[in-house]
Amino acid sequence: MKISIITATWNSSATIENAILSVASQGYPDLEHIIVDGNSSDATLPIVFRYENLIDKLISEPDHGIYDAMNKGISLSTGEVIGILNSDDFYANPHVLEKVSRVFEDKSVDTSYGDLIYVDPTNVNRITRYWKASAHHPRSFYQGWMPPHPTFFVRRSIYEKYGYFNVALGTAADYELTLRLLLKHKVSTTYIPEVLVHMRAGGASNASLKSRLATIQMANLSWQVNDLKPWPWTLTFRLLSKIVQYTRVQ
């Protein structure tokens, strides 16, 4: 079973090498790594070219943000299963893709996900936030839940049937995608109860109070575009769940 991993980059010279080597360290025999660069102006591309023997496809051109880049990667991919590893993320251990592949050996499984930990950007050995996802059930999204997107793997056939990322949703595009697939269309999913990805703390949705408020607004819009209605306290629960993630490392 071929697995395609898509890495979107833009001026990622500080972390892209780590991401590339993380994918290469998996040792999974049927693996495709695609890098979609947003026309970086720093040393990202020279670093990528240094590891061109580890990369299957590379494009570098202007885009409309990270989710547009991910959509390009999905279109370029040829794997039966597709995962996203951002340029500042890395896998928790060399066996992640092997475990994911075992889950997808069951043809009834459409998607899978696991746990995620946030680490300090300069000291990746220091955990700042622990996202223990828990198993999905019909009320999960109403209770503020979503799967950690960097750990979310999807069959190609599901993307082809239900669509890619909705770039109009901005930094909530990953939330909208999982909401659309798991709640609206009720595709099947399997929880892998262990940490699959380490993610450097930060990111567009957490950059400032303004961006966080915009993400909340877009999360609410994610329900509307799918003709779904959250409970009155759903988005409040979503915020509270993030607070719990911080307390797990205290």
- Amino acid 218: pLDDT: 92
- The single-letter code of the amino acid at 235 is L
Output DSSP code: residue 141.
Answer: G
Domain of residue 44, CATH code = 3.90.550.10
Q: What is the pLDDT of residue 244?
A: 74
The pTM of the whole model exceeds 0.75 = yes
- Report DSSP state, residue 218: H
Q: What are phi and psi of 64, to 5 degrees?
A: -110, 40
Least confident segment among 86-90, 116-120, 244-248:
244-248
**How far is residue 174's CA from residue 186's CA, in Å, rounded to a whole number?**
16
User: Which pLDDT value is given to residue 187?
Assistant: 98
The C-alpha R_g of the chain, in whole angstroms, comes to: 17
The reported pLDDT for the residue numbered 164 is 98
pLDDT digits (tens, 9 = 90+) for 121-147: 999 999 999 999 999 999 999 999 999
Whole-angstrom distance, CA of residue 212 vs CA of residue 214: 5
Q: Residue 214: pLDDT band by 50, 70, 90 thresholds?
A: confident
Residue 186: Cβ within 10 Å count: 10
Mean pLDDT is lowest, of 49-63, 173-187, 192-206, 234-248, for 234-248
Q: Which helix (H) or strand (E) holds 3?
A: strand 3-9
Domains contained in the chain, number: 1
CA-nearest of 246, 18, 5, 50 to 121 is: 18
What tens digit of pLDDT does each residue of 68-112 get?
A: 999 999 999 999 999 999 999 999 999 999 999 999 999 999 999
Token duo for residue 40: 């970086």
Domain that holds residue 132: 3-247
CA proximity to 116, closest of 140, 85, 150, 66? 150
Is 113:147 a contact under the CB 8 Å cutoff? yes
CB-count exposure of residue 17 (10 Å: 0-12, 13-18, 19+): middle
